[in-house]
Amino acid sequence: MSTFLMKARIYKNVILGTNCEIEDYCEIGKPSGDKKKGKLQTIIGNNAIIRSGTVIYCGVKIGNNFQTGHHVLIREGNKIGSNVSIGTNSTVEVDNIIGDNVRIHSLCFLEKVKLGKNVFVGPHVAFFDDPHPSIPRGRNCIRGAVVKESAKIGGGSRILPFVTIGKNSLVGAGSVVIKNVPDNTVVVGNPAKKLKKIGDIICKRKGARHYPYDSLG
């Protein structure tokens, strides 16, 4: 199947892979306010499904098998791996690095964040990057969070600047993370506190008592 474009606007210097579906009212390669049209190349790999209302700015590089929900905003400077999905009404601001096999649910906000491979981000999660907003000199201090491979962020969580969330860790829903989380650790609360090791989690569903994260390294 060839790339399928409906009522979408594709700007100059956009490279689309094969078997892509771009739904109505999308904009791909949109120039930012200080860039001329088509100056920065936008690349989207094979088999993408870009759902209606999505806007992807120029200078974005995306791998194969990418999907968005409806009305997703992806700003310039993002580098996104393969097999990534970003849910409806999410905002991916500038300069994020998103690894392969990442799932970002609906209504999320990211800016200057690094997500490792196989990371799961629940709905309505916000990552912050500015430790002292509205102070001009403070712009030099902007830095987002780092989320390492196979970590899971529960829905409604808030992740502050400079935080590193370790490999295979779990942030409980609604948590506010203000400091680093070690590998293989569960944190919960506001501010998030260490609760247990990831290997201590037991599924208590009737007839299925087991350790659900045994297979993750």
Identify whether 210 is a catalytic site residue: no
| CB-CB contact of 196 with 213 (8 Å) | no
Q: Which of 70, 124, 132, 210 is catalytic?
A: 132
Neighbours of 4 (CB within 10 A): 12
Written as six digits, the tokens of 23 are 């739904």
| CB-CB contact of 70 with 54 (8 Å) | yes
Write the CA distances from 12 to 72, 92, 94, integer angstroms.
Answer: 20, 22, 20
Give the HSE-up count for residue 196: Cα atoms under 13 Å, Cβ half-sphere.
6
Strand 192-197 and strand 185-189: pairing?
Answer: antiparallel
Q: How many residues does the chain have?
A: 217
d(CA 72, CA 153): 20
Which residues are part of the catalytic machinery? Answer: 132
